Amino acid sequence: MKKESFLLELQVLKEIAEILNEGTDLHSTLNCALAKLVQVTGLETGWIFLIDKNGNFELVASHELPPALMNEEAKPMCNGDCWCVDKYNTGRLNKASNIMECKRLEDSMIHNWGETNGVTHHATVPLQAGEESFGLLNVAASNKLKFDQEELNLLGAVALQIGTAIKRIQLTEKVKEIELIQERNRLAKDLHDSVSQLLFSINVTAKAGANVSDNVKLMDTFNHIQQIAQEAQAEMKALIWQLRPQGIEKGIVSALINYGEMLGLQVISNVKGTTILPSKIEETLWRVGQEAFNNCRKHSGQNTVYLQLSISTKKVKMTIRDQGVGFICPKDVQIPTLGLKSMKERVESIKGSFLVESDLNKGTKITTNIPF
């Protein structure tokens, strides 16, 4: 029996390692690895929580969950607390363990959320890589009340593989972000060195032509060319700013103030709290801010914009408002413009909330809340 158990363990580790080594997308990789684990061990169900430093958890993978845990109304896997997450957050879970009862399943029976398929207990394992912890792996089977030590050892080895894969994928994503920033910087430099200089030359040439011409029509043509070149220069400058925001290394507020001044806006800012924001959040705030400033410059009829950034331990809130002409924006109607829709989608893609408030002659207010 020991030989058979050893061979099974090797098979499980080998097959899961192949999945984890090839994966590049976190969610799909974890779902495939979990499905393989449940399949080769003869278990019936499993799920993986990722848990951040603030104790917030997210269900990122699951396989054959009982109907009670898939209840759409209660969404028990995405809300509420449970004993395994509580033990993890309080530092009482550092190895593969038996959870004698599952609070989520117990709640589902109390509230009649659906069938549990005989699942009442599960094993839970922290996902770790070195000194870092990422969340929990839970597995269960119907009428299985306890996992023996060999099973827990195997689950611990698999959890270590998964934790290492999570770390690798996260590092890969950071490298991609750095490469994207470098590419934007390169493109911004190329635009500045080539297209911007060309537009400057056209502007100077048109101005000189207008000054030396005695023909009124020809002079008007040169003036028109000069005007177009100046407008194109302004648009190009804004584009370069969008690709490579000046002052971003000093913080998102500094970058937005510089961008607003470049557009000819007076930015009145107010900042509460300080922290180092994750790059994705900083990038999102920057894109939302620049679009909001552009809208203010083009549509508000005002050259003053108010920027407020409030940072707490769990979220960052950015508010941008003006006192311009505004527009009719009923709360129960879809966002009216492509730019605003793009801002909303960008914020919601990182689990944030986006709100536009406006009315005729009462200005416009954009509020962004992003957890981290």
Give pLDDT tens digits for 259-280: 898 888 999 999 988 777 887 8
Rg (CA), the chain: 28
Last residue within a domain, chosen from 125, 153, 174: 174
Strands (E), the chain: 45-51, 57-63, 97-99, 122-129, 132-140, 266-272, 304-311, 315-322, 353-358, 364-371
C-alpha distance from residue 338 to each of 279, 291, 295 (Å): 25, 11, 12
Over residues 355-371, the mean pLDDT reads 91
* Tokens matching residue 146: 């306890």
pLDDT in tens, 21-57: 887 788 889 999 999 888 888 889 999 999 888 788 8
Whether residues 153 and 299 share a domain: the answer is: no
Would you say residue 108 has pLDDT above 70? yes
pLDDT at site 321: 95
Question: Is residue 276 in a domain?
Answer: yes
**Distance between CA atoms of 38 and 141, rounded to whole angstroms?**
9
Would you say residue 185 has pLDDT above 80? no
Q: Which residue range(s) make up the domain with 280?
A: 246-372
Residues in contact with 262: Cβ distance below 8 Å, sequence separation at least 6, in sequence order: 237, 238, 241
Question: Is residue 318 in a domain?
Answer: yes
Question: Is residue 217 in a domain?
Answer: no
Q: Exposed, middle or buried: residue 293 (CB in 10 Å: 0-12, 13-18, 19+)?
A: buried
pLDDT in tens, 318-348: 999 999 998 887 665 566 667 788 889 989 9
Binned at pLDDT 50, 70 and 90, residue 1 comes out as very low
φ, ψ for residue 132 (rounded to 5)? Answer: -95, 145
Question: Is residue 237 in a domain?
Answer: no
Whether residues 46 and 127 share a domain: the answer is: yes
115 by DSSP, 3-state: which? Answer: coil
Whether residues 293 and 153 share a domain: the answer is: no
The domain that holds 17 is classified in CATH as 3.30.450.40
pLDDT at site 322: 94
Whether residues 151 and 38 share a domain: the answer is: yes
Per-chain mean pLDDT for the chain: 83
Residue 117's region, left for phi above 0, alpha for psi from -120 to 50, else beta, is: left
Domain count, the chain: 2
C-alpha distance from residue 66 to each of 52, 101, 105, 141 (Å): 26, 15, 9, 10
pLDDT at site 370: 94
Last residue within a domain, chosen from 127, 155, 174: 174
Last residue within a domain, chosen from 128, 157, 174: 174
Question: Is residue 38 in a domain?
Answer: yes
Whether residues 151 and 53 share a domain: the answer is: yes
The domain that holds 353 is classified in CATH as 3.30.565.10
Instruction: Transcribe 125-159 into DSSP letters.
Output: EEEEETTEEEEEEEEE-TT-----HHHHHHHHHHH
Would you say residue 3 has pLDDT above 60? no
Whether residues 32 and 149 share a domain: the answer is: yes
What crossing angle do the helices spanning 2-22 and 26-41 adopt, rounded to 10°?
A: 160
Question: Is residue 12 in a domain?
Answer: yes
Question: Is residue 301 in a domain?
Answer: yes
Would you say residue 197 has pLDDT above 50? yes
**Distance between CA atoms of 313 and 222, rounded to whole angstroms?**
57
Whether residues 146 and 65 share a domain: the answer is: yes
Question: Is residue 224 in a domain?
Answer: no
What pTM value is reported for the model? 0.59
**Distance between CA atoms of 333 and 348, rounded to whole angstroms?**
18
